[in-house]
Structure 1
Amino acid sequence: MSIPPLIFQTWKSTTDIPANFAYWSRTFREQNPGYEHRLWDDADNRRFIADHYAWFLPTYDAYPAEIYRADAVRYFFLYHFGGIYADMDTECLRPLDGVLGHGDVVLGRMGANPDFAQSLPNAVMLSRPRQPFWLLVMSLLQDPATLARRRPEFATGPALLRQAHQLWEVRGADPSVAARIAAVQARLPAHQQADTGPGRVVTVPGNVFFPLDWNDRIHQQFFRKPLLRDQRVLDRKSVLSFFPKSLTVSYWAHSWETPAAER
């Protein structure tokens, strides 16, 4: 069984989406016409957690801003349904069919420095349903050390995802990883138990999902900042020529940091 052709995105309101974000979201439907596309708002996200993972609801509700919840819900969605998660500031350049069989969980690198704390973004992620890797992420979400982190990148976002991946890579030599997964598994009813397969977590190079590196000054100056400042999109011919080997490109709007577009 490969990753299901299901695309999940979320925004604070499904009826009030900025034009550039709406355009980028539409490219996922255009490039993948046979896929199911679900766009949820903040209320949909909370309802999903309350209905299926009520044990996590106190943590979810206690987050200080919506961005933390938007981060967290994507991990639960991928565990529950599988499919593809994509941020709304991400453009789909080419069909995603070819990457669906790459692994049980597929993550993307950003940049050339794997030691950078946010080098494994959670802006595009793919998964088969009920993969135990996401139980490890859920465990970290509730770890007191994680909850003490003030910035969402570290509490719920890419730095947390990278931490989970590092732990997953050493799970055979570190019994605490299996204990973390088992503790979350014990909270789940029988129909939500994790798959017992190999759980292959694959990371693809940065050019596949994240050819723009927001930690790169040149990318910032010539691509990201002008596009976001002017709220414009690149024409299709240009964007395909700029990123000839990429399936997606994220423009890193970080909309939760701007008061005018606060989540």
Structure 2
Amino acid sequence: MPRDACIDSGGALPSPPHVFSPPHAVDAHLRRLGSSPNLLELEYEEWIRRAHSLIVPPTLHQSWQACGPLLPDHARWRARCARVLPANWTLFLWSDDANRRLVQTFFPSFLSTYDGYDSHIKRVDAARYFYLYLFGGVYIDLDVHCLRPFEALPLTNGVAAFGHLEKKDLLFDRCCRRDIGSCANATCVRRRSEAVPNAFMAAPPRHPLFAALILDLSSAKDVTYKNRSSPLAATGPIYLANRLYEWARRSRKRHVHIHEAGRIYGSPWLETGTHRFPRAHPCSFDAPRARIARLEALKCNASQRFYSAARCAEVRSWPQVVENDERLIDARPDLPERLACARKLNGSITSSFWTASWIQNQK
């Protein structure tokens, strides 16, 4: 396949790194693991023995409804990732049709759960766990902005990686005092929390945590949150947090790492400590174009009480900042840290603008 490939309703699915004969042998393996909690424990013990040799392959997974045109901002951020990542990375864009074919081909016993979800975003969420279990690599949402190669995290052999969204709080500190192992790997996470999004995930193929995530999909498909059906709890960040909590509680934390806030999600509320009163994103010049247009209309309206000519000029200069970045990366693609957003978010590998396009799709 080409380095940057979209997988749609036609054509072959990518070949997984392990040879399964027949393809649904992986499904049979998962069903066997799900037949007894002890078998998943044995799977993890085997993983421990081989973990040092199990790499996170240089494969980036993203998804959209079709291979047709992406939203302009998403296309721009995806193109930036393609240029920031080293040449050995393969980028897959999975369409909705390809997601279903993936489940049907490799995970047929989960197809009824997949088809039975009451909202489409649950299928989109679930597909991410299937990508990473079968192929390994890195999954990111389309509104994630690549600042540096993922290797800078680093992507440690045998380890599944995630990112904390919030700063360490008192609950995290108490967890560290109680369990040094969880603190060392940052696997302290609260149940029913959105603090570890599923917008960035990385793992070698066949990681047993992702086996657990897939095995629990059926039992969680109708879980509610705040007395309503919720993709957050059935497949999304709350679902992920609950499984991470159970995973760490059973002393399986050695091969999971949740990176500290800011490392993955260089986000606006890191400056203030709360998402309820966020400041402007540090990289607003790379924000969605419609958002910038609204901001320019507001900041450049001289009749506004707090009008500032300097602030208006700054917002109007942002397209030039982006153009300068494009020229820089064309000239030296090996130095992404010179780009404007990477300089502002010095410790971050990625950032996100949280466009929440799935909410509009649900409407």
Instruction: Return the TM-score normalized by structure 2.
Output: 0.59
Which position in structure 2 is the counterpart of 1:166? 245
Q: Give the drift of 1:199.
A: 6.6
Which position in structure 1 is the counterpart of 2:72? 19
Which of the pair has more CA radius of gyration? Answer: 2
For structure 2, the 5+ residue unaligned runs are 1-53, 170-188, 293-318, 326-338
Structure 2 CA distance for aligned equivalents of residues 91 and 137 of structure 1: 26
| SS of 1:84 mapped into structure 2 | strand
Q: How does 1:225-236 map to 2 (within 5 A)?
A: 227-228=287-288, 230-231=290-291, 235=322, 236=325
Deviation string for 1:49-79 (max 9, x for gaps)? 0000010000101112221111000001100
How many aligned positions are there?
A: 234
Structure 1 CA distance for aligned equivalents of residues 91 and 108 of structure 2: 25
Q: How does 1:1-263 map to 2 (within 5 A)?
A: 1-32=54-85, 33-98=87-152, 99-101=154-156, 103-112=158-167, 113=169, 115=190, 117-144=193-220, 146-149=221-224, 150-172=229-251, 200-212=255-267, 216-219=275-278, 222-223=280-281, 227-228=287-288, 230-231=290-291, 235=322, 236=325, 237-258=339-360, 261-262=361-362
Which position in structure 1 is the counterpart of 2:308? none
Q: Give the drift of 1:223.
A: 2.8
| SS of 1:143 mapped into structure 2 | helix
Quote the RMSD (CA, aligned, Å): 2.5
Deviation string for 1:190-234 (max 9, x for gaps)? xxxxxxxx9701111121111216761343x5239x844725588
Structure 1 CA distance for aligned equivalents of residues 155 and 251 of structure 2: 26
Q: Give the drift of 1:80.
A: 0.5
1:21–1:231 distance in 2 versus 1, CA, 3 Å: farther
Structure 2 CA distance for aligned equivalents of residues 120 and 102 of structure 1: 21
Contact 2:195 2:241 in 1 (8 A): yes
* Structure of greater relative contact order (alpha carbons < 8 Å, 6+ residues apart): 1
Q: Give the drift of 1:172.
A: 4.4
For structure 1, the 5+ residue unaligned runs are 174-197
1:213–1:65 distance in 2 versus 1, CA, 3 Å: farther
Contact 2:268 2:281 in 1 (8 A): no
